């Protein structure tokens, strides 16, 4: 499949950025989204539109879904005019949503019954990196399937990790989103405490950045927190979904986790106070309101923009062999 036709369903914050990368690479792209304005924007830039998931699956070689929840994916896949109704032999379904691994594994046999191939390929790194092609992609499925779609994945992201069997990528993705959320909650507590003690918040930001307390989350989300926009293009309901998937997995496995229930409770409280579609970084409001402060700095961006040049896509190979003492 040297020049596959690609279909993309789900033009949200991440999906639109990923699909935009395909357009930049000159891919024969067909799109679908419930928001007609998003579809019209892509059509104006050279994409085709499809009237149903079935139609898009019939028209392309690789069909990508990037949707907000497992139930949304199930509806797009299994409805009367869904993807399964349009799949045929030799086609590939790439699930790029952050979803339940068990749901991917439930749908995979239905895909394979059509003679098609299923893979879960969630992304990590934020919308700003998705827009430039500098995002990371986890890919779960057979090695043969991975190598088949690797050229397409390299157009979407720069670091591609084959994670093993189908569903493994989705497990790793909810784990990384859980870690991201733990970092975010810890940062909101640290930033608010420093504000209350009277520290200059720009100095606080740099102290964290150059220290052992630094993280990717700090270098991105702390900036939009200190700007006041709190806009990292992610919402509290999505945090609850992702951390909830991790928390459920841990409890099903009998792992006595302690942080994930606490973090989940914090965001459930935030959603009750401010609404489920409130920006996730506004979870700091709970602390600001309790302390009577506003945690702001100066000169920070309202939204993150990836200013690094687009890096060529490549496969990340896990380390193997003896550990050096």
Please tell me which residue in 173, 195, 241, 294 is annotated as part of the active site.
173
Tell how far CA 148 is from the center of its chain: 22
b/e for 219-236, b at 16 or more Cβ within 10 A?
A: ebbbbbbbbebbbbbbbb
Alpha-carbon span 142 to 148, nearest angstrom: 10
Yes or no: say if 173 and 14 are a contact pair by the CB < 8 Å rule. no
| Torsion 6-126-307-284 (CA) sign | positive
**Tally of CA atoms within 13 A in the half-sphere of 206 that contains its CB:** 7
Alpha-carbon span 300 to 224, nearest angstrom: 7
Yes or no: say if 229 and 302 are a contact pair by the CB < 8 Å rule. yes
Of the candidates 239, 91, 216, the one whose C-alpha atom is nearest the C-alpha of residue 159 is 216
Mark whether 173 is an active-site residue: yes
Alpha-carbon span 274 to 264, nearest angstrom: 15
Alpha-carbon span 264 to 266, nearest angstrom: 5
Q: Write out the catalytic residue numbers.
A: 173
């Amino acid at each position: 499949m040297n020049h596959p036709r690609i279909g993309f369903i789900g033009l949200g914050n991440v999906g639109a950025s990923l699909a935009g990368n395909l357009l930049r690479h000159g891919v024969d792209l067909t799109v679908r989204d419930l928001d007609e304005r998003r579809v019209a924007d892509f059509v104006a830039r050279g994409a085709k539109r499809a009237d149903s998931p079935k139609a898009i699956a019939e028209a392309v070689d690789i069909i990508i879904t990037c949707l907000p929840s497992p139930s949304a994916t199930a509806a797009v896949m299994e409805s009367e005019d869904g993807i399964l109704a349009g799949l045929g032999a030799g086609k590939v379904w790439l699930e790029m949503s952050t979803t339940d691994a068990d749901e991917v594994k439930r749908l995979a046999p239905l895909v394979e019954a059509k003679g098609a191939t299923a893979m879960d390929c969630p992304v990590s790194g934020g919308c700003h990196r998705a827009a430039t092609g500098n995002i990371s992609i986890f890919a779960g499925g057979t090695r043969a399937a991975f190598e088949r779609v690797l050229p397409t994945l390299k157009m979407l992201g720069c670091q591609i990790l084959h994670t093993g069997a189908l569903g493994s990528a989705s497990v790793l993705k909810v784990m990384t989103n859980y870690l991201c959320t733990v970092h975010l909650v810890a940062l909101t507590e640290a930033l608010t405490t420093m504000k209350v003690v009277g520290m200059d918040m720009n100095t606080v930001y740099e102290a964290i950045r150059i220290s052992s307390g630094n993280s990717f989350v700090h270098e991105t989300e702390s900036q939009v927190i200190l700007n006041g926009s709190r806009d990292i293009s992610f919402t509290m309901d999505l945090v609850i979904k992702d951390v909830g998937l991790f928390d459920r997995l841990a409890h099903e496995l009998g792992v006595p986790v302690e942080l994930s229930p606490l973090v989940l409770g914090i965001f459930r409280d935030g959603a009750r106070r401010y609404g489920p579609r409130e920006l996730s970084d506004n979870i700091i409001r709970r602390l600001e309101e309790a302390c009577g402060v506003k945690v702001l700095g100066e000169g920070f961006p309202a939204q993150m923009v990836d200013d690094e040049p687009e890096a060529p896509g490549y496969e990340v190979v896990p380390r193997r062999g003896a550990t050096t003492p």
